[in-house]
Amino acid sequence: MPVKGWIEVNDLYCKGCELCIAVCPPDVIQMDSSRLTSKGYHPAMLKSDGCTGCGICAVICPDAAITVFREPKKKKILVELEATDG
């Protein structure tokens, strides 16, 4: 199962350069054309599920506007089955 991740984009820093869109492997980032930041840019946003939390967008962002979150791995629960004496 793919790792589930998500990002948050800080409007204060995003300048709409679209670099994050270009590098996202599953192509799940788009510019939010319905909003403008206080500086007048359309900010980046997640457009769909599928973010793996790889962090590439945060690394490439020149303005450190992206924070990446990743769902913690689920611990395997080991169940010991007791052998029944026949």
Q: Which residues bind ligand SF4 (CB under 6 A)?
A: 5, 7, 9, 14-20, 24-26, 28-29, 44, 51-57, 61, 63, 65-66, 68
Handedness of CA 51, 28, 11, 18 (dihedral sign): positive
Q: Counting runs of H as helices and runs of E as strands, what totals does the chain give?
A: 2, 4
Among the residues of 24-74, which ranges form H helices?
A: 56-60
Closer Cβ to ligand SF4, 46 or 86, answer by number: 46
Closer Cβ to ligand SF4, 14 or 81, answer by number: 14
* Min dist. Cβ of residue 17 to ligand SF4 (A): 3
